[in-house]
C-alpha cells in the first residue's frame, strides 16, 4: 500500500451489479469484525437505491465510470482494497487495474476471463510489483474453491509424505444454482473475442498461459471434451465449463509458490454425473450452446431473448437453496488415497461468490501485511488465513476427508 492511512478497508466498485448487491446485503448484516467500507459505481441513483434497500444510508458512495481515470484514481486514494464486480472485465476492467497497479492500491475481482488476465499481466505486473499493489483475480466461485482445494490437499501430501501429490483430479459432485446476466455476458464476450482472433484461440488452450514468466512446466494436461466413465473414481464425468479458468489459476499458483506442487504436476477438472445418459446429455447441450454462441447472429439472439440480461440472476430462494460440493482425488507418493472436499452453503456463482469475494478482500486488507506487490492467485496470496475466514464467516469449508 502506498497510502499512509486510507479511509476505508474496502470499497465495493460495481455495487449495483447482481453480485455487488448480494455483497451489500451480506455486509449490512456482518458484525463479526469492524470494517470501514464504502461503495462505488457509475450511477448515483442506482447506488442510493442499493443502499436504501439494505438500510445502508450511512455508508458513503463514490461515483466513477470505468473509463474515468481521474475518478478511479480519486477512489483508489481512499482505500486499502478495491473490490471490482464491474464486468465483463475485458470490456470495462483495464483502467482500474492500471490505476491500482500505479497507485499501489490492492485489488480483488471476479474475472473468469483468462485472456484478459493474461493481457493485464503483460501490461501491469511489473508496475504492481514496483508499487506494492497486490492484485488478486478470480476471487469468486472461479477460482477460490479449486485453488484452495488443491492447496489444502498438497499441504496434507507434503506433511504426510514429504512430497506433493503428482496428480489431482477435481470432480464437481454437486452444483446447485443458476447463472447471472453478467456471467453470461462475460462468457459470450470470450467466445466473440476468440472467434475474431486465431492467436487468442491458441493462447486459450495453453494450460500454462497464466504461469509466471520463465516457468518450466511442459506436462501435457487432460482437457475433458466429452462424457466418459472414469474407472479410478468410478463415476461418469463430463466437461466442467469453469475448468478453463480454474485449471489455469491452479497452475499459476504452483508457479508463484516456486513449483511447490512439482514441475510435472497434473491437474484436471470435470463434473460428475449420476448416469451415462445424463453425462452425454449435458455434454451435448453444452457443446450445442458453445457452437451456437460462436455464430454472431445466434449469439445475439441468445443474449437478447433467451439468457439472463446484465443485472439479472438467480432468485433469492435459488441462492439460499443452492450449494456446491467439490472433491479433489489423489494417490500420494506412499500409495495412500486422499480426498479433499470444498463445500459451500449457497448457490456457487452468487450467494457463495459474494461471501468469498468479500472475505478475500478483507483478508487482503487485514491479514497479510507482508505480502509483496504483484499479481497473485487466491491460494498463493491468502491460503490458510482465507480458509479460516471462509469457514468462520462464509459457509465455505475446505477439509481433508477421512
Ligand X SMILES: NC(=O)c1ccc[n+]([C@@H]2O[C@H](COP(=O)([O-])OP(=O)(O)OC[C@H]3O[C@@H](n4cnc5c(N)ncnc54)[C@H](OP(=O)(O)O)[C@@H]3O)[C@@H](O)[C@H]2O)c1
Name the residues that contact ligand X, by CB under 6 A. 14, 16-20, 41-43, 46, 65-66, 85-89, 92, 110, 112, 138, 140-142, 180-183, 186, 310-311, 313, 349, 353
C-alpha 239/C-alpha 366 separation (Å) is 37
Residue 47 has which C-alpha cell? 447506488
Identify any residues that bridge with 398 across adjacent strands, giving them in sequence order.
342
In 166-242, alpha helices (H): 181-196, 198-204
- Report the C-alpha gap between 148 and 378 in whole angstroms: 8
User: 136 in helix, strand or coil?
Assistant: strand
CB of 45 to ligand X, least distance (A): 9
Q: Which residue in 349, 388, 394, 395 sits closest to 148, CA to CA?
A: 388
- Beta strands in 59-164, from DSSP E residues, in sequence order: 61-63, 79-84, 106-109, 134-136
- For the CB of residue 178, give the shortest distance to ligand X in the complex, in Å: 11
Q: How far is the CB of 110 from ligand X (least distance, A)?
A: 4
Task: Output phi, psi for 233, to 5 deg.
Answer: -90, -5
- Is residue 20 within 8 A of residue 355, CB to CB? The reply is no
- Spatial neighbors of 317 by CB under 8 A, at least 6 apart, are none
Cβ at position 231, least distance to ligand X in Å: 31
Upper half-sphere CA count for residue 265 (Cβ side, 13 Å) = 31
d(CA 245, CA 234): 25
Burial, 4: exposed, middle or buried (Cβ in 10 Å; 0-12, 13-18, 19+)? exposed
Which residue, 36 or 46, has its beta carbon nearer to ligand X?
46
d(CA 84, CA 91): 13
Q: How far apart (Å, rounded) are the C-alpha atoms in residues 89 and 215?
A: 26
Picking from 78, 86, 71, the residue whose alpha carbon sits closest to that of residue 15 is 86
Closest CB to ligand X among residues 18, 236:
18
Coil vs helix vs strand at 91: helix
Taking the least distance from each CB to ligand X, the nearer of 227 and 269 is 269
Crossing angle of helices 44-53/18-28, nearest 10°?
Answer: 40
Give kind and range of the element (H or E) at residue 37: strand 37-41
Residue with cell 455486509: 27
Nearer to ligand X, 187 or 256 (CB): 187
Amino acid at each position: 500500500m502506498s497510502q499512509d492511512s486510507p479511509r476505508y478497508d474496502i470499497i465495493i466498485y460495481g455495487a449495483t451489479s447482481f453480485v455487488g448487491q448480494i455483497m451489500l446485503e451480506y455486509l449490512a448484516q456482518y458484525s463479526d469484525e469492524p470494517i470501514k467500507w464504502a461503495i462505488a459505481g457509475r450511477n448515483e441513483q442506482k447506488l442510493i437505491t442499493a443502499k436504501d434497500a439494505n438500510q445502508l444510508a450511512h455508508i458513503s458512495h463514490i461515483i466513477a465510470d470505468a473509463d474515468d481515470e481521474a475518478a478511479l484514481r480519486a477512489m483508489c486514494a481512499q482505500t486499502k482494497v478495491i473490490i471490482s464486480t464491474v464486468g465483463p472485465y475485458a470490456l470495462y476492467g483495464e483502467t482500474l487495474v492500471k490505476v491500482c497497479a500505479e497507485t499501489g492500491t490492492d485489488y480483488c475481482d471476479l474475472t473468469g476471463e483468462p485472456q484478459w488476465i493474461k493481457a493485464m499481466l503483460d501490461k501491469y505486473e511489473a508496475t504492481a510489483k514496483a508499487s506494492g499493489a497486490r492484485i488478486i483475480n478470480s476471487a469468486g466461485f472461479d477460482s477460490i474453491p479449486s485453488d484452495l482445494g488443491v492447496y489444502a490437499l498438497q499441504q496434507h501430501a507434503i506433511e504426510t509424505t514429504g512430497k506433493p501429490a503428482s496428480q489431482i483430479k477435481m470432480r464437481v459432485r454437486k452444483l446447485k444454482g443458476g447463472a447471472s446476466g453478467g456471467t453470461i455476458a462475460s462468457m459470450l464476450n470470450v467466445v466473440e473475442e476468440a472467434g475474431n482472433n486465431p492467436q487468442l484461440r491458441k493462447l486459450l488452450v495453453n494450460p500454462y498461459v497464466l504461469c509466471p514468466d520463465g516457468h518450466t512446466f511442459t506436462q501435457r494436461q487432460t482437457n475433458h471434451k466429452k462424457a466418459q466413465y472414469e474407472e479410478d473414481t468410478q463415476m461418469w464425468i463430463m466437461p466442467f465449463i469453469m475448468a478453463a479458468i480454474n485449471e489455469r489459476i491452479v497452475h499459476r499458483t504452483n508457479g508463484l509458490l516456486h513449483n511447490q506442487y512439482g514441475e510435472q504436476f497434473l491437474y484436471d477438472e470435470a463434473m460428475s454425473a449420476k448416469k451415462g445418459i445424463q453425462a452425454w446429455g449435458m455434454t451435448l447441450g453444452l457443446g450445442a450452446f458453445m457452437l451456437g454462441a460462436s455464430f454472431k447472429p445466434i449469439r445475439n439472439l441468445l443474449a437478447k431473448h433467451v439468457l439472463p440480461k446484465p443485472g439479472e440472476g438467480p432468485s433469492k430462494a435459488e441462492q439460499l437453496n443452492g450449494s456446491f460440493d467439490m472433491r479433489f482425488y489423489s494417490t500420494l507418493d506412499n500409495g495412500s488415497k486422499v480426498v479433499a472436499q470444498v463445500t459451500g452453503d449457497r448457490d456457487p456463482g452468487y450467494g457463495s461468490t459474494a461471501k468469498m469475494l468479500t472475505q478475500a478482500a478483507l483478508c487482503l486488507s487485514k491479514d497479510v501485511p507482508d505480502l509483496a506487490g504483484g499479481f497473485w492467485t487466491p491460494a498463493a496470496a491468502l491460503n490458510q488465513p482465507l480458509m479460516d475466514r471462509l469457514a468462520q464467516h462464509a459457509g465455505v469449508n475446505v477439509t481433508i476427508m477421512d
